[in-house]
Amino acid sequence: MIESMRKELAYFRTVIAERPHYDEAVCNGCRLCYEVCPVLCWAPAERKMVLAHPERCVACAACVLQCPTGAARLA
């Protein structure tokens, strides 16, 4: 089953052109993106967040929906 999920994820990564981005100047460091990300794209840093693993993104947009400042986005 895990192998099947990996194949599906690889397929969706080729189909989905959207990738996570964020505006560091707008980020307030609330860590909501980190808390809701199911694949751990985000990592806490000093007072801000860091997009540590954008290649893991599955474009679920949880970070975008939870970001109170609009710093996280898919593009």
- Model pLDDT for residues 2-55, shown as the tens digit of each residue: 788 777 777 666 556 677 888 989 999 999 999 999 999 999 888 888 889 988
pLDDT of 53-74, one tens digit each? Answer: 988 888 888 999 999 999 998 8
Among 30, 26, 36, residue whose Cα is nearest residue 65: 36
Q: Write down the domain spans for the chain.
A: 2-74
Which residue type, as a one-letter code, is found at position 1? M
Q: 62: left (phi > 0), else alpha (psi -120 to 50), else beta?
A: alpha
Per-residue pLDDT, 4: 80
Span 2-74 CATH architecture: 2-Layer Sandwich (3.30)
For 18, 31, 33, 62, the CA distances from 39, given in Å and listed in that order, are 15, 15, 11, 11
Q: Is 41 exposed, middle or buried (0-12, 13-18, 19+ CB in 10 A)?
A: buried
